[in-house]
């Protein structure tokens, strides 16, 4: 079987039927009905002109057969032929121009719908999908699906030509028309036999493109690790395998689309030969004249040409619909984050937080938090410690609503957070993580990211609070210094300071520091500790810390293990217990003491 060996064994569960895909397509294209109407009109006019051409040519041949042929009639027929050909060219140009206006707007709206849907998703969605795959759906899949619009408009014209042409063939000579239709069943059997195969190979082709994009993204983002371990050859070898798989998938799509073309050409040629032989006999018997036979042959070619196009229609349409199917997987994906039907704007005053009997798992059957309960009074500085996998980061991710918990309730100031509008609620919760993400742009733009309406005074206040001004003195353009993707050009400590300023500029009622000083050197940490003490005093704070200095200044410390709180208290009281906290302190924190 060669390249086709895996093609017939592999299968996938289809979520959308052809009828549903087509219905959804019509619904999406309906707002552009004016453009579709104009395109159809141009196709209709072009079709009529195309059908008249053989009549004009046949009439000219019939006139030339006469000994006393009228030159004026022949000239008029020539002018008519040129005029009809010009009209066809004009209609084709107008149709392409209209398509050029319509398709870009169609793609723009489609891509925005996909992008907006991606923005709505919670983090569990991104845990299930690779970034390269999602990028492929926004770019490649949307483009391929958009191309089906042009394909469908061309198909409308081809169907019109075939139907009207066959009616003319019946009028010209019913006997020859019967000979013509003998090859049609074979052609349609071949066409419909391609549908399932085309859908299968198209689906695999779309997946292979996603794999290439995902491999590229992963290779670029992990280039430093790759070079550090000298694994460039390994990465190249893996990408070669992915790229080769893409080649095979593309080859299969091309083969399915064009492999039958030679068969169709052969059938068409055999039908034409049969018509010529039969037409010759009709002329000899005096049952037809040469002009009629010439016209008939010209119309037969016009009849089969659209059918030849239709033979490749299903594979190409299947490719577009396979792309649309992948797009619909995103557009129809259900949000995990739950909100009540009448969400309200949050009014957080005290910042009191309560977890009550919360159950949470990233994957079914693998509980991270089980019957978890915790109450944090407003204004308290709470430190959370524990081994990796204890559930510390999951705790704050639920609070900021990056993931949905399966049961229980989380309240802020006595109100269920599910009753709050997400976008408004998250503005009251600031979060600084260990892995800081900065966007391409200036330092100023990154700081103002969470509060674009902040005044210059507020901006400078946030910068001074985290001692970012000292960093800016060493940069050539200060606040207007350009940083690269993910903050390239700045050190880990510098990026951390920018993220602190970004979070503080929003003036959140609740501030979360998720191991925010783990990547900061001792000097940088000393710069921000004094500022943090002042800033955290006026808001509820949850600190997941790897630094002893941060833990010592907390009002309360909780120790987590396997999603449960096993100890809580102040630093001194927990040390005196000589329990789990004492073990953690001796393992991780004792060496950080100044003495």
Among the candidates 306, 331, 356, a domain finishes at 331
Mapped onto helix, strand or coil, the DSSP state of residue 546 is coil
How many folded domains does the chain comprise? Answer: 2
- Residue 544 included in any domain: no
- Residue 192 included in any domain: yes
Report pLDDT for 2: 36
Of the candidates 129, 108, 155, 143, the one whose C-alpha atom is nearest the C-alpha of residue 319 is 143
Q: Which CATH number goes with the domain that contains 150?
A: 1.20.1560.10
- Residue 534 included in any domain: no
Q: Which CATH number goes with the domain that contains 480?
A: 3.40.50.300
Q: In terms of residue numbers, what domain contains 455? A: 430-507
Among the candidates 507, 527, 561, a domain finishes at 507
Per-residue pLDDT of the chain (595 residues; tens, 9 = 90+): 333 333 333 334 456 777 787 788 888 888 888 887 888 788 878 878 877 777 777 777 766 666 666 777 778 878 888 888 899 899 888 888 888 778 788 888 888 888 888 877 878 887 777 666 777 777 777 777 777 777 776 676 677 777 777 787 777 777 777 777 776 777 667 666 666 676 677 777 777 777 777 777 667 666 666 666 567 777 778 778 877 887 788 777 777 666 666 677 777 778 778 777 877 777 777 776 777 777 777 777 777 777 666 666 666 676 777 778 888 888 888 877 777 766 777 777 888 999 999 999 888 878 888 899 999 998 888 989 888 888 888 898 889 888 888 899 999 988 888 888 887 888 888 888 777 777 777 888 888 887 888 888 888 888 887 777 777 777 777 777 777 666 676 777 778 788 888 888 888 888 888 775 655 666 666 666 665 666 676 788 888 876 666 777 788 989 888 888 898 888 888 888 888 888 877 776 655 554 5
- Residue 371 included in any domain: no
Place of tokens 């704007």: 345
Report pLDDT for 312: 61
- What CA–CA distances, in Å, run from 363 to 399, 406, 488? 19, 11, 34
23 lies in the same domain as 150: yes
Of the candidates 426, 416, 8, the one whose C-alpha atom is nearest the C-alpha of residue 201 is 8
- Residue 71 included in any domain: yes
152 lies in the same domain as 274: yes
Question: Per-residue pLDDT tens for 33-49?
Answer: 888 788 878 887 887 88
Q: Please name every residue paired with 372 in a beta bridge, in sequence order, or none if there are none.
A: 358
- Residue 218 included in any domain: yes
188 lies in the same domain as 302: yes
- Residue 61 included in any domain: yes
108 lies in the same domain as 229: yes
pTM, whole model, 2 decimals? 0.68
Mapped onto helix, strand or coil, the DSSP state of residue 385 is strand
Question: Per-residue pLDDT tens for 490-544?
Answer: 777 778 788 888 888 888 888 888 775 655 666 666 666 665 666 676 788 888 8
d(CA 113, CA 324): 13
- Residue 554 included in any domain: no
d(CA 141, CA 501): 39
Of the candidates 257, 252, 249, the one whose C-alpha atom is nearest the C-alpha of residue 314 is 257
250 lies in the same domain as 113: yes
Strand ranges (DSSP E) for 413-459? 415-416, 429-433, 441-442
> What region does 2 belong to: left with phi over 0, alpha with psi -120 to 50, or beta?
left
Report pLDDT for 504: 82
Strand ranges (DSSP E) for 390-545? 407-412, 415-416, 429-433, 441-442, 482-483, 510-514, 540-544
Report pLDDT for 375: 92
d(CA 91, CA 99): 12
Pairing, β 353-363 against β 366-376: antiparallel
Among the candidates 294, 313, 331, a domain finishes at 331
Contact indicator for 355, 396 with CB cutoff of 8 Å: no
């Amino acid at each position: 079987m060669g390249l086709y060996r895996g093609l017939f064994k592999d299968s996938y569960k289809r979520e959308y039927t052809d009828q549903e895909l087509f219905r959804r397509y019509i619904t999406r294209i309906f707002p552009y009905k004016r453009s579709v109407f104009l395109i159809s009109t141009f196709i209709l006019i072009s079709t009529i002109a195309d059908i008249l051409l053989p009549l004009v040519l046949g009439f000219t041949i019939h006139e030339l057969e006469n000994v006393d042929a009228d030159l004026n009639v022949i000239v008029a027929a020539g002018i008519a032929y040129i005029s009809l050909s010009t009209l066809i060219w004009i209609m084709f140009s107008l149709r392409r121009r209209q398509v050029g206006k319509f398709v870009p707007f169609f793609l723009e709206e489609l891509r925005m719908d996909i992008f907006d849907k991606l923005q709505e998703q919670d983090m569990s969605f991104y845990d299930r999908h690779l970034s390269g795959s999602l990028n492929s759906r926004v770019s490649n899949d949307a483009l391929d699906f958009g191309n089906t619009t042009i394909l469908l408009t061309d198909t409308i014209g081809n169907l019109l030509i075939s139907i009207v042409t066959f009616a003319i063939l019946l009028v010209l000579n019913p006997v020859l028309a019967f000979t013509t239709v003998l090859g049609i069943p074979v052609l349609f059997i071949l066409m419909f036999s391609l549908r399932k195969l085309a859908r299968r190979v198209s689906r695999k082709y779309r997946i292979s493109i996603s794999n290439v994009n995902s491999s590229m993204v992963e290779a670029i983002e992990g280039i430093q690790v790759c070079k550090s371990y000298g694994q460039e050859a390994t990465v190249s070898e893996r990408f070669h395998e992915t790229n080769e798989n893409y080649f095979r998938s593309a080859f299969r799509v091309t083969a399915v689309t064009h492999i039958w073309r030679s068969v169709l050409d052969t059938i068409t040629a055999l039908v034409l030969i049969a018509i010529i032989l039969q037409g010759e006999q009709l002329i000899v018997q005096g049952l037809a004249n040469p002009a009629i036979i010439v016209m008939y042959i010209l119309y037969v070619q016009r009849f089969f040409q659209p059918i030849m196009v239709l033979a490749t229609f299903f594979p190409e349409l299947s490719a577009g619909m396979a792309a649309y199917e992948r797009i619909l997987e995103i557009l129809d994906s259900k949000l995990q984050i739950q909100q009540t039907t009448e969400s309200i704007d949050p009014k957080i005053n005290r910042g009191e937080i309560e977890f009550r009997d919360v159950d949470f798992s990233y994957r079914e059957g693998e509980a991270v938090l089980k019957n978890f309960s915790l109450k944090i009074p407003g204004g308290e500085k709470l430190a959370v410690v524990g081994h990796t996998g204890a559930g510390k980061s999951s705790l704050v991710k639920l609070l900021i609503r990056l993931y949905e918990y399966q049961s229980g309730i989380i309240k802020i100031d006595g109100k269920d957070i599910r009753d709050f509008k997400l976008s408004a609620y998250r503005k009251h919760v600031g979060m600084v993580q260990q892995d800081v993400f900065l966007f391409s742009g200036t330092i100023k733009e990154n700081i103002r990211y969470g509060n674009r309406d902040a005044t210059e005074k507020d901006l400078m206040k946030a910068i001074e609070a985290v001692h970012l001004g000292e960093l800016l003195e060493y940069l050539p353009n200060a606040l207007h210094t350009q940083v690269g993707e993910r903050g390239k050009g700045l050190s880990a400590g510098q990026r951390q300071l920018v993220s602190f300023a970004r979070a503080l500029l929003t003036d959140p009622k609740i501030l979360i520091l998720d191991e925010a000083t783990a990547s900061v050197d001792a000097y940088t940490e000393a710069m921000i500790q004094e500022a943090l003490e002042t800033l955290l005093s006026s808001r509820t704070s949850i600190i997941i810390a790897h630094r002893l200095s941060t833990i010592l200044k907390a009002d309360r410390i909780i120790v987590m293990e396997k999603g449960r709180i096993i100890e809580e208290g102040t630093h001194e009281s927990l040390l005196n217990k000589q329990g789990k906290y004492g073990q953690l302190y001796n393992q991780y924190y004792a060496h950080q003491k100044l003495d």
